[in-house]
Structure 1
Amino acid sequence: MKAFDSSLYALDLDLWPEVIRAYEKVNVPYEPLTIVKPSLEVPLPPLQPAVFLPGFRELPPPQLELFDLDDAFSTSESRLAQFATRCTENEVERFVKEAGELLGVGRGLPANERTAKRILELVVAQLIEFKRGQPDAEAADDGHLFATVEDHEEEDEEHYFSDLDEYDDLDG
């Protein structure tokens, strides 16, 4: 048994001369086969250049006067300073709201709870937590920041004012 039987499907040119003679018997002109160029679907018609190129409208320049460069590139501190100069004394509530937004104080709050009172409440709560978290040892290191006039001893004052008596003697 053969794996392939080539006699059933074979390409044989033995009958080719008989086919050409059959054209003559039937009076049909014999033309050799040519390659048919396929016509594929083209999404656009072929380009036919015009004499003059079409004149497209130029895009308008960007409206930079409507774009605030200071607002886009400035720091939050400078934006806060600019906003503070624009506000009057009657606009304290508006200033607190805008300052809270600029500094990110009320980010966790829903939009309807972002009032000036609520923002100040959050700031005071954060300040209290900061003061509670500061140990006394660290605060003692910063004693010069909290020193008042009453903290100086009287001996130091006598040293400062001892020179006044000498000036009085020069005049008299």
Structure 2
Amino acid sequence: MRIRLATIEDAGAVAAIYNHAILHTIASFWTEPRPDEELAEQIGESGESTYPWLVAEQEGPEGPRVIGTAWSKRWNPRTAYNITCEVSVYITPDAQGMGVGKALYTDLFSRLKTIGYKHIIGGISLPNEASARLHESMGMKRVAFFPGIGEKYGRAIDVGYWQVTLNT
């Protein structure tokens, strides 16, 4: 497996991964698929020195295939929050449980620390034990819980927030 910075050419593969989560899970609060062009724009706006966006590739018989993605983004536009960013990770169903999320987050967190962020936040739609375990394996602790804050598939969805403070 290889972890690298995403490029706009990855937008289709990233959209396929993300849209599967949108359509089949509670992991994303979007309810309609996101267009490739929208993700290409977001990837293009991400920056190696600001908010890195990564993909995980696995070699296959037809060449490398994107099996996961992780990105960082601004937590809040108010300038006092510039020391904090939010992260997300999504993995293809056939690669879940194989350490792809951990590999993506390990690389991403290292980059974020180098950039100078002091805090990383991750939101998780609950229940999602696998995601909670992944975030906790990165040293994150649950710091907030919002019961029933979203609704998808006709039911209320809870959201938890996990946070880690990076050593400075």
Smaller-chain TM-score range?
Answer: under 0.3
The higher radius of gyration belongs to 1
Greater share of strand: 2
If the length of structure 2 is used for normalisation, what is the TM-score? Answer: 0.21
If the length of structure 1 is used for normalisation, what is the TM-score? Answer: 0.21
The structure with higher relative contact order (CA 8 Å, sep 6+) is 2
Greater share of helix: 1
